[in-house]
Amino acid sequence: MSADEDQAWLEALAGRRAATPASASTQEAHALRALVQTQTPQVAAAAPEIDPAREAALIARARAEGLLPRRAAPPRAWRSRFVSRPALAAAAVATLAIAVAVTRYLSPPAETLRGGLQTVRLEARDPQALRQELIQELRAAGVRVSGYEQFGRIGIDADLPQPLTPQVRDILARHGIPVPGDAALVVVITASGER
């Protein structure tokens, strides 16, 4: 059969009349259509409604016949038979300890420490006066600086601007302070001849 004949057969089966005269294949399609239309559809019976009592009776009967396993023991009885309360408590404590350890390991540190912090040591006849001079000069250059005296040591802490300004470079050079690798400057001033 050609494609045109196939199309004519499908049109006849669909009940459409073709403009071309009826051929043997289209007559066959019309006969098939007539036969299909004479058939009465069979409707399936309506499904019964759910009956919990009937279901329970069927399950009980299946258990009695050995088709279903007997009811399992309640979970609590199973747990108490294999695991004791102290064992459960120990498992809970161990789980909590592991969770805390993993959380501490994975969380970032609360504070960031500066690496490579170097302390510059200077000697002066009057350490107090040199400290005040450094504080005044650096503050005039716009540097945040603070002086300290701890354990008998006198010094300054400063946060230098990055990149260093020419004015700050001049102050550091004038006092013989090397340029630090980062923005932190720590200077300890001792009296001449003291270490």
Residues 88 and 139 reside in one and the same domain: no
Residue 113 placed within a domain: no
Residue 185 placed within a domain: yes
Residues 174 and 130 reside in one and the same domain: yes
Residues 99 and 128 reside in one and the same domain: no
Residues 136 and 185 reside in one and the same domain: yes
What does the alpha-carbon distance between residue 189 and residue 195 come to, in Å, rounded to a whole number? 10
Residues 187 and 123 reside in one and the same domain: yes
Whether 122 and 188 have beta carbons less than 8 Å apart is answered as yes
Whether 160 and 183 have beta carbons less than 8 Å apart is answered as yes
User: Over the stretch 41-92, which tens digit does the pLDDT of each residue have?
Assistant: 777 777 677 888 888 888 888 888 888 887 765 555 555 556 677 888 888 8
pLDDT of residue 113: 47
pLDDT of residue 163: 84
Residues 94 and 131 reside in one and the same domain: no
pLDDT of residue 78: 52
pLDDT of residue 111: 47
Whether 191 and 129 have beta carbons less than 8 Å apart is answered as no
Residues 83 and 124 reside in one and the same domain: no
Residues 145 and 176 reside in one and the same domain: yes
Residue 59 placed within a domain: no
What does the alpha-carbon distance between residue 163 and residue 116 come to, in Å, rounded to a whole number? 18
Residue 136 placed within a domain: yes
Residues 157 and 184 reside in one and the same domain: yes
Residue 94 placed within a domain: yes
pTM across the whole model: 0.40
From 152, 149, 138, 153, select the one nearest 185 (Cα to Cα): 138
Higher pLDDT among residues 131 and 4, named by residue: 131
Mean pLDDT of the region 152-166: 86
Residues 134 and 166 reside in one and the same domain: yes
Residue 128 placed within a domain: yes
The boundaries of the domain holding residue 186 are: 119-191
What token pair was written down for 28?
């066959």
Give the residue from 61, 83, 106 where a domain finishes: 106
Residue 100 placed within a domain: yes
pLDDT of residue 81: 59
User: Over the stretch 87-137, which tens digit does the pLDDT of each residue have?
Assistant: 888 888 999 999 888 887 776 655 444 555 678 888 888 888 889 998 999
Total domains in the fold of the chain = 3
Containing 147, the helix (H) or strand (E) segment is strand 144-150
Residues 126 and 180 reside in one and the same domain: yes
Residue 148 has pLDDT above 70, yes or no: yes
Average pLDDT, the chain: 80
Residues 131 and 172 reside in one and the same domain: yes
Containing 64, the helix (H) or strand (E) segment is helix 52-64
